[in-house]
Structure 1
Amino acid sequence: MPRVHVNGIDLFYEIQGTGEPLLLISGFLCDRSYWSLVMPSLVKQYQVIRLDNRGVGRTSAPDSPYSIQQMATDTAALLEHIGIEKVNVVGHSMGGQIAQELALARPEKVQSLILLSSLAKGDPLFNSIIATWGELPGTIDQKLYQQVILPWIFSDAFYSIPEMIDMIVDIAVKYPFPPTPHGIFHQSRAILGCDTRQRLKDIHCPTLVLVSKQDILTPVKFSEQLAQGIPNAELVVLERGGHGLVVESPEAVASAMLNFLSRLPKNGMSLM
């Protein structure tokens, strides 16, 4: 697994497939493995780049404050290191916040943007949930932590399959590179400190905003705000799946992503 020292951290990344570059940025708590179920569809057509954000996986987790802009700088430094001039960028949840900041800071690097279950700024309920999730790992074990957060991540239908939830909890508990409590805390505060609402108008690349109708953590209204604020953004609302739609509805997510990407002209300036 390649690793590069950028922006004061050792950052792990992975590249698979051939074709146009496609960068996948995971959300809060998640490392590059979050995208595993959509990877088979994506690598058939794209050179897919995945990374572990600071604070999770095999990337450094410094015990100091993080910001979404800082994580966007980490990502831009990775692109420079591997020689990517222009890339299609996909971000889920917090990863979508990072993707927005990357598009704002380095517009010449971002060919298109796909924001999954993401937001410009959370409301009081969302902020309270994320603040609590950032503090809990210092007081409860990994199994209980997963049992606390998962009802917010998956839809009722998915959560009603006990063996699926048990499997996800078991994977998290046994995962060889679990996030540290301080890494989780600092990521949570980065989420709370980010606000792109007044800057969305400055994102000019083709953008797809994708969310599930059943997402209760980042509800449809958050995606509507993104789509309304970003010039000419396209909003797609899936019927099935919760916040963790990449795990719960990977085929639908991959199909929506590929459909959007297939309609981009090669210069990435506008949708056909």
Structure 2
Amino acid sequence: MASDAYPLGHGIYQAVAPVRSDDLLSLADRCGDHWWGLGGSPVSWPSLSDETDSRGFLPDRPEPRTRRPRRPGVVTGDRAIRGRPETAMSPARSPSAPLYFTERGSGPPLLLVHGLMVTGEMFEPVIGHFAARHRVIVPDLRGHGRSRGLPPPYTPARLAADLSRLLDHLGIDSTAVLGYSQGGAIAQQLALDFPDRCDRLVLACTFAFNMATRREKIEGHLLPLVLRVVGMRLSAKLVFSRAASQLGTERADWLVGIMADQNRDLMVAAWKETMAFDSRRRLAEIACPTLVIAASNDRAVPIHHAQMLHDGVAGSQLIVIDDADHALIWTHSDEFERVTDDFLGA
């Protein structure tokens, strides 16, 4: 049975975890006059039939950073090396501060690209499996996690260019790329802007254009408001509390910690760029073998998005995982790993 939960991040929520759309609509309504107190002017809501790119975001306000304990060192090979600097891009390869990343395993390279409002840590449940056959590279995207110090813009084109420079630093000419949720948009951009970099592409629970419906547009405009009024930690608890029964309390708390640790203002800025992403007219340019993975009950990125990708990328494969939603990488890890392995090993 389809869940009535929506992960934060598509429409209003495209990152990773379920919360009902109606809950946040109600929350925004309860915020009432707080809209004015945050910025001195009302939010400009889009018309249901409006196809323009106009937005009414509230001005930025600083939010105290939330820090949570991190394991020291960087995962490389099969263990953490303690007392050594974090693995990072050489400043000589980047005009700005280095992009943080971790590595594990050996073999053909596999680049994992995380979604919005989380970090590369979201892949922890599956990294060990993939590292048995691959050299797995897991960056924190610009503005996220330990790459939060990198300045804007957070456009998909900029984030894809960061990944290309990271591959330069690692001496990797071409790699398999797996993008999850909003990370799938960045993976598409990498395949489009740097086609020689991507030899196989896995697009999981993602989209070509995530403002495709009226509800998605309204929800997309609500997200900055909710984050500003509620903050990252409370938003994360709201998001993942409804998923705890599927994820388990320990994993849900872990995901809350990842999301709560992100900077609210940076996430609002990154979300604005996510709203503007639209690869529909360029999907035919993706030439590498492509696998589209969808969840049958995903109401954050409904299956019509997967079908759009499948129809647009010539020769792509579409696999739908039954009885799964947007959290399938954690709730259906074995099946996710199996279909990915089958594709990468083909």
TM-score above 0.5: yes
Residues 176 and 26 from structure 1, CA distance in 2 versus in 1: closer, same or farther, beyond 3 angstroms?
Answer: closer
Q: Is the 8 A contact 2:232 2:259 kept in 1?
A: no
Deviation at 1:173, TM superposition (A): 5.0
State the Cα distance separating 1:133 from its structure 2 match: 2.8
- In structure 1, the partner of 2:263 is 180
Instruction: Report the Cα distance in structure 1 between the residues aligned to 2:314 and 2:326, rounded to whole angstroms.
Output: 24
Q: How does 1:1-272 map to 2 (within 5 A)?
A: 1-4=86-89, 5=91, 6=94, 8-62=96-150, 64-122=152-210, 123=212, 124-150=214-240, 159=243, 161=245, 164=248, 166-175=249-258, 178-263=261-346
**Higher alpha-carbon deviation: 242-251 or 137-146:** 137-146
- Structure 2 CA distance for partners of 1:137 and 1:9, relative to 1, 3 Å: farther
Cα gap change, 1:62 to 1:41, in 2 (>3 Å):
closer
Shift in Å, 1:245 = 1.4
Amino acid at match of 2:122: Y
TM-score (ref. length: structure 2): 0.69
Which amino acid in 2 is paired with 1:161? S
For the structure 1 residues 171 and 114, does the alpha-carbon distance in structure 2 shift closer, same or farther, using more than 3 Å as the test? same
Q: Which whole-Å CA distance do the structure 2 matches of 1:225 and 1:7 have between them? A: 36
Which blocks of at least 5 consecutive residues in structure 2 are unaligned? 1-85
Alignment check: 8 A CA contact 2:96 2:150 kept? no
Give distance in 1, aligned partners of 2:103 and 2:247. 32
In structure 1, distance between residues paired with 2:157 and 2:280: 14
Q: Hey, what's the Cα distance between the residues in 2 that align with 1:89 and 1:180?
A: 26
Measure the CA separation in 1 of the matches of 2:278 and 2:258: 32
One-letter code aligned to 1:102: L
C-alpha contact (below 8 Å) 1:89/1:112 kept by paired residues: yes
- CA displacement at 1:194 relative to structure 2: 0.7
Counterpart-to-counterpart distance in 2, 1:162 and 1:222? 23
Q: Percent identity?
A: 25
Deviations 1:80-111 (A, max 9, x none): 11110110000001110000010001111110
**Worse-superposed segment, 19-28 or 187-196:** 187-196
In 2, Cα distance between the equivalents of 1:209 and 1:175? 26
- Give how far 1:231 is off: 0.7
TM-score by length of 1: 0.87
